[in-house]
Each structure stands twice: as C-alpha cells, then as structure tokens.
Copies of this chain bind each other. A is one copy, B any other.
Amino acid sequence: MIIGVLGAGQLGRMLGLAGIPLGLQFRFLDPEPNSPAAEVGNQIVGSYEDDDSIARFADGLSVATTEFENVPASCLRSLAVHVPVCPSATALEATQDRLIEKRLFSELEIPTPPFLPVGTPGDLLSALNSTGYPAVLKTRRFGYDGKGQWVLYDAGSTKSLIPSLDTSPDALILEGFVKFDRELSLVAARGRGGDIRFYPLVENRHERGILRLSVAPADGTTDVLQRTAEEYVVRIMQALDYVGVLAVELFQCGHRLLANEIAPRVHNSGHWTIEGAETSQFENHLRAILGLPLGSTEPRGFSAMWNVLGAPPVVNEVLAVAGAHLHLYGKEPRSGRKIGHVTLSSPDRGSLDGKLERIRVAAPQS
C-alpha cells in the first residue's frame, strides 16, 4: 500500500517513520531535491502545479495527503480525480487564507481576535480606527514562522510601513493585538468515520516568531479549558468534513481561548507525541486517512519538545540527558532553520526544567 505525501520535509519524514512499521510505503512530491523525507520513501522532484509530476505521483497510490498547507488546491483537486485525498482541497483552502479562516471561526462561534480585511492604505487606516493600536497587520496567504507579519504601534510606524505593502485587494488582514497569557495548541485526529481523538493542550513558547518549546500537557490547564478547546476543534473538523490530523493554535486570556489559526496537517507542537503519547500524531494521521481505528492519544508522563534551530546540536551532550530523544531531519544547517528537535520525557513534571536547561546548552540556536 503506497501513501502519497505532498511535500517531503521533516513532517513527511516523520510520517514515513511512523508508517513503515504499519507495512506502508511512501511516495513524496516536492520541488526541492534530496528532501528530508527521501530517506523513507521515493521522492518525485517536481512542482505541485505540473500535471506530469502530479500524474507520476498519483499512479498507484492508496491515498494522498499533505505535509504542507500551501499546496495549491488545484493540485489536490487534480489528485482527487484519481485517488482519495485527505484532507480535502476544500478543507485546505479554508486554512490558506487568514481572512477566510477567521471568518470560519466567527461563523462557528469560536472567539478570535478582532479582524478586518485590508485592501488599500485607506482600508488600513479605517481598520486601525476600529482596532486601535497596537494592531497586527498580516499577509492573508503564505505567512509562517512570524514571516509576513508587522506589529503596528502607532501612526508613525503605520505611515512608514505603507509604501512597502502589497495592497492588492486580497492581500492583507488587520488583527487587534491580543494581550494573551500564553499560546496553547490542540492537536486532534478525525477518522474517515467521523470519530475524533484529542491530544492534551500543549503550551508553546516562541522566540523571534519561531516555535522554540512545547510543554505537554500544558501546565495548569483545567478540564473546562481542555473541553472548550476540544469543542472548538470539533466544530472546525465537522464544518470542513476534515479527515486526518490538524492543530489549532489558541491564545489563552484568563479563562478564555481565542482561535489564532489552523494548521491542516501534523504540527510542530505535536512532535512530542512520538515518545510522549501512546500513539503519535504521525501514526494517527495515517490511521485516520486509511480509515483504520484511531490510536490512544493518552500522554505518557510529561514531555518538553525543544526545536533545534540553525546549528547542529552537540549529540553527545543531548543524549547524555536521561529521557532525551533526538530527531534530526537531515537538513543542512542554516541560521534560524528548523533542523531537528529534542523531546524530553519524564514520569514527573518536576525534573523536566532542569533537563531542559541542559538541552538548551547542548542545542543552542544559531
């Protein structure tokens, strides 16, 4: 049985590592040669918009999926003629544009930060009248890891930014600045039959816009908070008839949760599940898209996931920490690039922080 994955980065690599033990084989489509996933399957080097590449990719697949949310929906629609595609083009499209995504949250009565579409500089100024300062201007499409975002503190910073903006009609969205306590995320899997399993809420800490650390389960979350997040995810998954794993990023403000965005794929804040949960997000994504029973999402003790950014870690020092699990993606080190992660597992929460200090030293950012 061959699984097709659009994108051959680290997410594809970890899908392959989770799926080979299930007897699955993998084929990846990615324009970048020698991608991380090429070590666990066959990579077709080609564009997501090239019919010939898509045809070669589709040939003989049991199911196709994606590790990359910005695959053109047209690619998924072409594929869907030949093979089941999970999640669907429609589900992916709903998450590719921040405005459409935020409107979906509103329709589903899921609280979000205030937001307004921005086309022209005039739109921006009137939107700022509505949100007040500070506010966050974002590109509607293709933003990631803090790219395509500008925090506007006052009229001066707005004025100096305006000349560099893309002010085509569908380019931008302005969001009210939310003073949140922390960022949480919920990763969940929905099977073909509509059954849903949730992992526990995770706390995510960013540095310079990039995820640095996830702690799972998040400290001090209540059953009510977990159930609220689950209820929001159920609404999203059912509205999109979603099949597979997705993550929702949430801002916690006191007892409230505001939805920030959906990642329609396995997610960096779920990497801890490889060692830290009974079934990993990668295996559950595969089980979901194949129509197999979903696996238990129970956490096994406590986990902390530390991203390895830019520079190779000192492997000896990482592995000397009891409960440290190293995941390298086979990528060339480059400043700020995610080239791996370390998951710390522990039966008790208390010992994680001390171990994390040792990992910070052994895997510093560059």
Contacts and interface: CB of A to CB of B under 8 A. Distances in A.
A21 interface: yes
Interface stretch (A80-88, A205-213, A290-298): A290-298
Contact of A20 (B39, B279, B319): B39
Nearest to A292: B319
Nearest to A295: B319
Number of copies: 2
Nearest to A324: B295
- A25, A293, A340 — which one has the most chain B CB atoms within 10 A of its CB? A293
A103 interface: no
A17 B274 CA distance: 13
A130 B20 CA distance: 51
A298 to B, nearest CB: 8
Nearest to A340: B23
Interface in A7-30: 13, 17, 20-23, 25
A320 B193 CA distance: 14
A267 interface: no
Contacts of A326: 21-23
A1 to B, nearest CB: 10
A330 B322 CA distance: 33
Given A292-B316, A293-B316, A316-B293, A40 B21 contact: no
A323 B296 contact: yes
Interface string A192-221: 000000000000000000000000000000
Interface in A80-137: none
A295 B345 CA distance: 12
Interface in A285-324: 287, 292-293, 295-296, 300-301, 315-316, 319-320, 322-323
A161 interface: no
Contact of A278 (B40, B322, B330): B322
A21 B328 contact: yes
A20 B319 CA distance: 15
A15 to B, nearest CB: 13
A278 B322 CA distance: 9
A360 interface: no
A337 interface: no
A27 to B, nearest CB: 12
A235 interface: no
- A25, A295, A320 — which one has the most chain B CB atoms within 10 A of its CB? A295
Contact of A292 (B315, B325, B328, B340): B315
Given A278-B345, A330-B23, A322 B296 contact: yes
B23 A328 contact: yes
A282 B163 CA distance: 57
A349 interface: no
B25 A21 contact: no
21 contacts: A13-B20, A17-B17, A17-B21, A20-B40, A21-B325, A22-B315, A22-B326, A22-B328, A23-B315, A23-B326, A23-B328, A23-B330, A25-B39, A39-B41, A278-B322, A278-B323, A292-B316, A292-B319, A293-B319, A296-B323, A300-B300
Given A17-B20, A23-B326, A295-B319, 5 more contacts: A39-B40, A40-B40, A278-B323, A296-B322, A300-B300
Q: Lowest 7 CB-CB distances: which A-B pairs, in order?
A: A23-B328, A293-B320, A21-B327, A296-B322, A293-B319, A292-B319, A22-B326
